């Protein structure tokens, strides 16, 4: 399995995704501020991986605290949480994970638990979130595999794979599961300008698993769809609103519109931790704007004339009407999404254990 991130006795170890595919190197974050930097600089990226990284950041910060009492520790937990929450705004898994860690902390603190016990419990909670993330990816794979063609080509955008999670992946997890069940699938990976998650990361991890992969420039999908060379599209998500509108890597919306025009199913695979029912529709999702240099420069070389204005939104929103189905760890959601999302949360609360399809 590809080791995206790992809790170690002296910190959290991250596969440096800025260096892939040419170098497989690791960055050890030895305090919570370094975890925040690793998230902000996209050494780790992808919504579920960001969430678990933040949880480990909280655990690391609390475990290193010198606080003598719970009043002092409460104040530190607030600062640690705010620091990690200020890293990237769009992927709701980040805020979900920090909230879960704070809830755990609050329960322990209210019960007057000793500080050493709180530290141990928060480390255990973060490690449990890591395990749950892999289990959720496997369950998404089990629920979604049958939706992919028995034989054909599937397009994906960005990287929603093992590298974007604690292992196995969401969208790529569904592809992996289909291949494991005997489907003959070729993958088209959009290169995903400007950060090249598709070209650098998706191609790297799928080839690692011997899944045939072709890298496309982002402007090629429409023409290939018109030639009937794409049978399905599957992507991940950074935040899904209560009505099913889905924020994902910039360029996803264009692919979804193209898929609809060509009658190709467009699937989103994401855990329930990516669904934000407090966000009613896609226009309420905050979209991260990143540095202009990601667009103006490629591999250190300037590509645009001085003075050109630059846009660099990291994500876009695909309205729910373009989404054929949303694959979660608890089952497959279909429109109307307000209703199916609500019912899925009720079902998951009543029966939290994951069931494979
Ligand atoms: O900017 P990134 O690389 O963090 O963006 C990642 C994506 O958009 C992924 O598609 C999304 O987080 C889902 S990952 C399972």
| Token pair belonging to 232 | 């399905």
- Residue-range domains of the chain with CATH: 5-139 (1.20.120.420), 143-354 (3.40.50.10470)
Residues 60-82 pLDDT 10s: 999 999 999 999 999 999 999 99
What average pLDDT does range 131-155 have in this prediction?
98
Average pLDDT across the chain, whole number? 97
Contacts of 228 (CB under 8 A, 6+ apart): none
| Token pair belonging to 140 | 């998404």
pLDDT more than 90, % of the chain? 97
For ligand 1, is residue 238 a contact (CB within 6 Å)? yes
pLDDT > 80? residue 357: no
Residues 3-49 pLDDT 10s: 899 999 999 999 999 999 999 999 999 999 999 999 999 999 999 99
Ligand 1: centre distance to CA 192 (Å): 11
Residues 280-301 pLDDT 10s: 999 999 999 999 999 999 989 9
Residues 176-201 pLDDT 10s: 999 999 999 999 999 999 999 999 99
Band of residue 232 on the pLDDT scale cut at 50, 70, 90:
very high
Return the exposure string of 186-205: e unless at least 16 CB atoms fall within 10 Å of the residue's CB, then b. bbbbbbbbbbbbbbbbbbbb
pLDDT > 90? residue 152: yes
| Token pair belonging to 45 | 């990226």
Predicted local distance difference test score (pLDDT) of residue 3: 87
Ligand 1: centre distance to CA 50 (Å): 9
pLDDT > 80? residue 356: no
Predicted local distance difference test score (pLDDT) of residue 327: 98
CA atoms within 13 A on the CB side of 353: 2
> Which one, of 333, 330, 336, lies nearest residue 352 by Cα?
330
Band of residue 353 on the pLDDT scale cut at 50, 70, 90:
confident
Band of residue 307 on the pLDDT scale cut at 50, 70, 90:
very high
What average pLDDT does range 301-322 have in this prediction?
97
Contacts of 289 (CB under 8 A, 6+ apart): 312, 313, 314
Contacts of 6 (CB under 8 A, 6+ apart): 12, 13
Please provide the size of the chain in residues. Answer: 357
For residue 114, the 8-state DSSP code is -
For ligand 1, is residue 165 a contact (CB within 6 Å)? yes
Query: If you write DSSP's letter for every residue of 256-316 in order, what string do you get?
Result: HHHHHHTT--EEEE--GGGEETTS-SGGGS---B--THHHHEETTEE-S-TT-----BSEE
Taking residue 18's Cβ as centre, other Cβ atoms within 10 Å add up to 15
Residue nearest to atom 15 of ligand 1 (CA): 160
What's the CA gap between 27 and 15, in Å, rounded? 6
**CA angle, residues 342, 348, 353, in degrees to nearest 5:** 165
Ligand 1: centre distance to CA 191 (Å): 13
Predicted local distance difference test score (pLDDT) of residue 351: 86
Predicted local distance difference test score (pLDDT) of residue 190: 98
Q: What number does the ligand 1 atom closest to the CA of 47 have?
A: 12
Residues catalogued as catalytic = 238
What's the CA gap between 45 and 323, in Å, rounded? 24
Whether omega before 336 lies within 30 degrees of 0, making that bond cis, reads yes
Helix (H) or strand (E) holding 214: strand 213-216
The secondary structure of 27-85, three-state, reads: EEECCHHHHHHHHHCCCCCCHHHHHHHHHHHHHHHHHCCCCCCHHHHHHHHHHHHHHHH
Q: What angle in degrees, to the nearest 10, is found between the helix axes of 70-85 and 47-63?
A: 150
Residue identified by tokens 């289990």 is 135
Ligand 1: centre distance to CA 277 (Å): 19
Residues linked to residue 216 through DSSP beta bridges, in sequence order: 190
For ligand 1, is residue 170 a contact (CB within 6 Å)? yes
Structural contact between residues 38 and 14, judged by C-beta atoms closer than 8 angstroms: yes
Predicted local distance difference test score (pLDDT) of residue 100: 98
For ligand 1, is residue 164 a contact (CB within 6 Å)? yes
Structural contact between residues 56 and 203, judged by C-beta atoms closer than 8 angstroms: no
Predicted local distance difference test score (pLDDT) of residue 289: 97
| Token pair belonging to 85 | 């929450």
For ligand 1, is residue 48 a contact (CB within 6 Å)? yes
> Which one, of 198, 201, 246, lies nearest residue 220 by Cα?
198
Residues 124-137 pLDDT 10s: 999 999 999 999 99
Residue nearest to atom 5 of ligand 1 (CA): 46
> Which one, of 331, 219, 336, 240, lies nearest residue 284 by Cα?
240
For ligand 1, is residue 198 a contact (CB within 6 Å)? no
Band of residue 355 on the pLDDT scale cut at 50, 70, 90:
low
Residues 245-269 pLDDT 10s: 999 999 999 999 999 999 999 999 9
| Token pair belonging to 3 | 């080791």
Predicted local distance difference test score (pLDDT) of residue 299: 85
Which residue from 39, 42, 47 has its CB within 8 A of the most atoms of ligand 1, so it is best to mutate? 47
For ligand 1, is residue 194 a contact (CB within 6 Å)? no
């Amino acid at each position: 399995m590809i080791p995206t991130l790992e809790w170690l006795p002296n910190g959290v170890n991250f596969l440096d995704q800025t260096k892939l595919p040419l170098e497989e190197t690791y960055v050890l974050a030895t305090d919570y501020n370094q975890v925040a930097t690793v998230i902000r600089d996209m050494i780790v990226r992808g919504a579920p991986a960001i969430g678990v990284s933040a949880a480990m950041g909280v655990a690391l910060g609390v475990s290193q605290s010198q606080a003598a009492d719970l009043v002092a520790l409460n104040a530190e937990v607030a600062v640690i949480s705010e620091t990690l929450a200020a890293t990237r705004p769009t992927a709701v898994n980040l805020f979900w994970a920090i909230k879960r860690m704070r809830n755990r902390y609050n329960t322990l603190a209210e019960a007057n638990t000793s500080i050493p016990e709180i530290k141990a419990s928060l480390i255990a909670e973060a490690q449990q979130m890591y395990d749950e993330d892999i289990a959720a990816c496997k369950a998404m794979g089990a629920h979604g595999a049958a939706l992919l063609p028995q034989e054909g080509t599937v397009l994906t955008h960005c990287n929603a794979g093992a590298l974007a999670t604690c292992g196995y992946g969401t969208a790529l997890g569904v592809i992996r599961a289909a291949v494991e069940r005997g489907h003959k699938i070729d993958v088209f990976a959009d290169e995903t300008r400007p950060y090249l998650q598709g070209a650098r990361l998706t191609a790297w991890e799928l080839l690692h698993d011997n899944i045939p992969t072709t890298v496309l420039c982002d402007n090629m999908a429409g023409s290939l769809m018109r030639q009937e060379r794409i049978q399905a599209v599957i992507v991940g998500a950074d935040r899904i609103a209560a009505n099913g509108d889905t924020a994902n890597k910039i360029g996803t919306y264009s692919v979804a519109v193209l898929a609809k025009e060509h009658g190709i199913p467009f699937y989103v695979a994401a855990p329930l931790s990516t669904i934000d029912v407090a966000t009613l529709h896609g226009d309420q999702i905050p979209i991260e704007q990143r540095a202009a240099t990601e667009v103006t420069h490629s591999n250190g070389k300037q590509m645009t004339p001085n003075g050109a204005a630059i846009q660099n939104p990291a994500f876009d929103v695909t309205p729910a009407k373009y989404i054929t189905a949303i694959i979660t760890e608890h089952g497959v959601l279909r429109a109307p999404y307000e209703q199916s999302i609500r019912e899925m949360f009720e079902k998951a609360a009543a029966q939290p254990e994951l069931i494979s399809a």
